[in-house]
């Protein structure tokens, strides 16, 4: 009897011991879980904070992208715009959807396409650190705009191409206008004396490089032009110069350039190969001034005529000043006769 009770108590103690051990394990595990929970709570709060910061940075970048005055775009390696900002779309006159729905190369001038394709491939393959180039893009109104690009290459882990662009069409137009004004006469639109000096030097250099090449200089002075200004005024004189310039431009051919040197003085440069015939151009110049000019509100008929002196390089002269002096000397030989005509220096 006592043995049975003892055994029963022993079993109960053994069970109690097991339960206590399990309780210890559970309490220990609970402590671990509570510790982990605390750590995860801290990590979660940190993660939430980091996500919030990233969202703010993304929102700031998106605001910059949308509001930048620069043309910004994101393109795929396959050649499509994935995203363009409003400045980009506005510069070319399209909607953002129109730009993103067609291959990039559809908008590029045919003469610039292959160059752009080659650069795009190099950038996509990471063969270029950064590329600065320009090409022509089709504007929605049908005109071509010059676009200047700055494009860094794709680096490891980056799948898209990013670029900053700038429409430089107006800047180039202004530069061309400045250059045009520097090289052209403001009244007649002909090349001016500065252009004459530069083109004469180049023509002489070409003639020196190519054996048998000849350069002919024609200096032209209108006859009686001072009397026109004195009798009718400078506005009529200017109109005479404009009409003469139009006639000179009309008679000049591909190898012949015409210049207004100042006042009523003009010049022609003819580049050809020896033996060159100078008489045809000289005759055309004289004939262009002999036909009366109709000028002014009262339709005045004015005949001017001209004196033309011709000299050759390198036949007569080997330097610009001497060439000009010889043509000038020949021109005044005709002018002293008070008749229209031409004289070839010899």
Give the other-Cβ count within 10 Å of 268's Cβ: 24
- pLDDT at residue 11, rounded to an integer: 65
Sheet holding 306-313, edge to edge: 256-262, 265-273, 213-222, 306-313, 341-344
Q: Determine what percent of the chain is predicted with pLDDT higher than 70.
A: 90
Region 19-47: mean pLDDT is: 72
- Residue 274 DSSP label: S
Same fold, 71-172 and 184-344: no
Task: Answer for the pair 243, 295: CB distance below 8 angstroms, yes or no.
Answer: yes
> Tokens 């103690």 map to which residue?
13
Residue 259 vs residue 35, higher pLDDT: 259
* pLDDT tens, position by position, 292-330: 898 887 777 888 999 999 999 887 778 999 999 999 999
- pLDDT at residue 4, rounded to an integer: 60
Whether residue 167 lies in the annotated active site: no
Coil, helix or strand for 181? helix
Look up the CATH number of domain 184-344: 3.30.70.270
On the question of pLDDT at 108 being above 60, the answer is yes
Alpha-carbon span 36 to 167, nearest angstrom: 58
- The radius of gyration computed from the CA coordinates of the chain, to the nearest angstrom, equals 43
Highest mean pLDDT among 8-12, 123-127, 302-306: 302-306
Please count the helices (runs of H) and the strands (runs of E) in the chain.
10, 12
Region 179-195: mean pLDDT is: 96
* pLDDT tens, position by position, 222-242: 998 999 998 889 999 999 999
Which region among 51-55, 200-204, 328-332 has the lowest average model confidence (pLDDT)? 51-55
- pLDDT at residue 121, rounded to an integer: 85
Catalytic position from the list 176, 185, 264, 272: 264
| CATH fit for domain 71-172, picks 3.20.20.80, 3.30.450.20, 3.30.460.20, 3.90.1300.10 | 3.30.450.20
On the question of pLDDT at 146 being above 60, the answer is yes
Q: Which helix (DSSP H) or strand (DSSP E) does residue 215 occupy? A: strand 213-222
pLDDT-derived band at 13, boundaries 50, 70, 90: low
Residue 153 vs residue 107, higher pLDDT: 107
Tell me the CA end-to-end span of the chain in Å, nearest whole number: 159
| Nearest Cα residue to 268 out of 324, 329, 209 | 324
Alpha-carbon span 288 to 305, nearest angstrom: 8
Residue boundaries of the structural domains of the chain: 1-64, 71-172, 184-344
pTM of the model: 0.70
């Amino acid at each position: 009897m006592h043995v049975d009770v003892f055994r029963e108590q022993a079993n109960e103690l053994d069970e109690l011991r097991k339960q206590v051990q399990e309780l210890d394990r559970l309490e220990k595990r609970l402590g671990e879980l509570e510790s982990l929970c605390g750590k995860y709570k801290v990590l979660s709060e940190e993660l939430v904070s980091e996500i919030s910061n990233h969202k703010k940075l993304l929102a700031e970048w998106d605001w910059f992208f949308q509001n930048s005055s620069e043309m910004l775009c994101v393109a795929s390696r396959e050649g499509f715009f994935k995203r363009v900002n409003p400045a980009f779309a506005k510069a070319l006159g399209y909607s953002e959807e129109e730009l993103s729905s067609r291959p990039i190369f559809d908008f590029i001038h045919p003469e610039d396409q292959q160059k752009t394709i080659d650069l795009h491939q190099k950038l996509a393959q990471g063969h270029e650190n950064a590329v600065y180039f320009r090409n022509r893009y089709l504007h929605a109104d049908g005109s071509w705009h010059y676009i200047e690009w700055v494009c860094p290459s794709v680096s490891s882990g980056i799948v898209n191409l990013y670029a900053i662009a700038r429409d430089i069409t107006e800047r180039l137009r202004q530069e061309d206008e400045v250059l045009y004004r520097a090289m052209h006469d403001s009244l007649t639109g002909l090349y001016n004396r500065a252009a004459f000096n530069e083109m004469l030097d180049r023509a002489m250099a070409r003639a020196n490089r190519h054996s048998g090449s000849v350069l002919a200089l024609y200096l032209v002075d209108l006859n009686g032009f001072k009397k026109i200004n004195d009798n009718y005024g400078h506005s009529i004189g200017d109109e005479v110069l404009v009409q003469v310039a139009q006639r000179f431009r009309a008679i000049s051919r591909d190898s012949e350039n015409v210049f207004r040197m100042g006042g009523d003085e003009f010049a022609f440069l003819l580049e050809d190969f020896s033996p060159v015939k100078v008489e045809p151009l000289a005759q055309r110049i004289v004939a262009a001034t002999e036909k009366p000019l109709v000028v002014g509100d009262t339709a005045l008929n004015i005949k001017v005529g001209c004196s033309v002196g011709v000299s050759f390089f390198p036949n007569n002269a080997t330097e610009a000043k001497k060439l000009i002096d010889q043509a000038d000397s020949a021109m005044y030989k005709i002018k002293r006769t008070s008749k229209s005509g031409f004289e070839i220096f010899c």
